[in-house]
Amino acid sequence: MRVIALEEAFLHHKLRALYSPAYVRLLDMVGDRLTNVGQDRIRRMDAAGIDLQVLSHVQPGVQALECDLAIRLSREVNDWLAERISQYPTRFAGFAMLPMQSPADAADELERTVTQFGFKGALINGHTQGRYLDEESFAPIFERAQALDVPIYIHPTDPPQSIIDTYYKDSPAMMQSWGWQVETGTHLLKLISSGVFDRYPRLKIIVGHMGELIPFTLKRVNAAITMGNWLLKEQKGMQKSLLCYMRANVFITTSGFFDQAALQCAVAELGIDNVLFSVDDPFGDNFEGVDFLRKAQLSNEDREKLAYRNAERVLRLSSATHSQRGSSHSFFSFKANIKAKMARMMLSFLVR
């Protein structure tokens, strides 16, 4: 069975040099697994049983930078990623990093990377210096994504400083473990209620982490918004129920969320066709992710949809008649698994 993972991170050295020392120390806890986009990463994929990774730059990308610098570095990093993918085209694909400070330039960069390099969409790290995607100024990006028929992946980032000060200033671990999901789920709900899918009915949005809390609360939120139809009328441009948009335009991944009960909830609320496999490598464990996939309480047909068929459809990836995965020596598989678990333990210790 082919296995495609969608939310898999890398780190470019020029952006590493611009991030805060504290953040770099956190990223460095996973060693060179973030910076390597080559044979070492492929050996780890082979050991766990992953055929293709869709790569994206670790958050916050260029979204915290000054506009002109963000435009320049996004092009440079996307060019670098395209060159790496060209060396291993059956093992890697890419999501573009966009300079969201300038929506017009971001739309142009999305088109450039899709048409020139075959990128499969873009990954956006939440808000951009306090500006959220429901603002009308971001319309060019959605218009271009719909025209190109590629998805936008909304990835978590730190909430605005006022939220951090209120809820998380004494508990950074709570911000990453809980706050990121609340932030991203709320961002998606704001975007839907703004009427974005009425203006762009073929737009596709992806979120990770088993739907950023939304599947579990979907019926409650849907009922509240549509109650008596009066709340729905208050939503500018939103013509359908939340449930309709979630099933027609939104896709979720399993990134870093390997829980069978949560998967069953997501499938029940959204349908198996809207759920895609991801690991969140190197912060998630490839072995744990693939084991979760193989043990999922799904039919063989639905397991294949989760593993690769949905990704092939949503990202318009070519179907593979056979696995491109190389054979892996059992000792390497054991060693890679142990290293992944040790790195995970070190990260947990650091954020306590």
By mean pLDDT, which of 209-223, 271-285, 300-314 is the weakest? 209-223
**In terms of DSSP H, where are the helices of 272-320?**
286-295, 300-304, 310-314
Q: Is the pLDDT of residue 173 over 90?
A: no
pLDDT computed for residue 227 by the predictor: 65
pLDDT computed for residue 325 by the predictor: 66
- Tell me the per-residue pLDDT of 153-169, one tens digit each, with 9 for 90 and over: 999 999 999 999 999 98
Structure tokens at 103: 């929506």
Largest interatomic CA distance in the chain: 62
Structure tokens at 92: 């890697």
pLDDT computed for residue 348 by the predictor: 41
Residue 294: strand, helix, or coil: helix
Domains annotated for the chain, with CATH where assigned, are 4-351 (3.20.20.140)
Percent of all residues in the chain with a pLDDT value above 90, rounded to a whole number: 81
Structure tokens at 210: 């088993």
Give the predicted TM-score (pTM) of the model: 0.91
Structure tokens at 163: 């939220």
The closest of 275, 224, 271 to 254, measured between CA atoms, is: 275
> 349: burial class by Cβ within 10 Å (0-12, 13-18, 19+)?
exposed
Distances (CA, A) of 192 to 116, 138, 204, 231: 30, 14, 12, 14
Q: How many residues are present in the chain?
A: 352
Q: Is the pLDDT of residue 246 over 60?
A: yes
pLDDT computed for residue 196 by the predictor: 95
Report the C-alpha gap between 305 and 310 in whole angstroms: 5
If one counts every other C-beta atom within 10 angstroms of the C-beta of residue 178, the result is: 14
Q: 55, 81 in Cβ contact below 8 A?
A: yes
What average pLDDT score do residues 5-14 get?
A: 98
Residue 95: strand, helix, or coil: coil
Report the C-alpha gap between 178 and 168 in whole angstroms: 10
What value does the mean pLDDT of the chain take?
Answer: 91
Structure tokens at 199: 């203006």
Report the C-alpha gap between 175 and 186 in whole angstroms: 14
Question: In which residue are the tokens 């330039």 written?
Answer: 105
What average pLDDT score do residues 253-273 get?
A: 98
Asked if the bond preceding 215 is cis, omega within 30° of 0, the reply is no
What average pLDDT score do residues 186-190 get?
A: 95
Concerning whether 79 is annotated as a catalytic residue, the answer is: no
pLDDT computed for residue 237 by the predictor: 65
Structure tokens at 28: 């460095």
The residue type of 33 is R
The closest of 121, 26, 50 to 348, measured between CA atoms, is: 26
Q: 290, 220 in Cβ contact below 8 A?
A: no
Q: Measured between alpha carbons, how far apart are the two ends of the chain, in Å?
A: 38
Q: 229, 253 in Cβ contact below 8 A?
A: no
At 319, the pLDDT band (50, 70, 90 cuts) reads confident
pLDDT computed for residue 212 by the predictor: 97
The single residue of 280, 281, 285, 302 carrying the catalytic annotation is 280
Q: What are phi and psi of 125, to 5 degrees?
A: -90, 75
- DSSP character at residue 34: T
Residue 207: strand, helix, or coil: strand
By mean pLDDT, which of 47-51, 274-278, 334-338 is the weakest? 334-338
Q: 151, 116 in Cβ contact below 8 A?
A: no
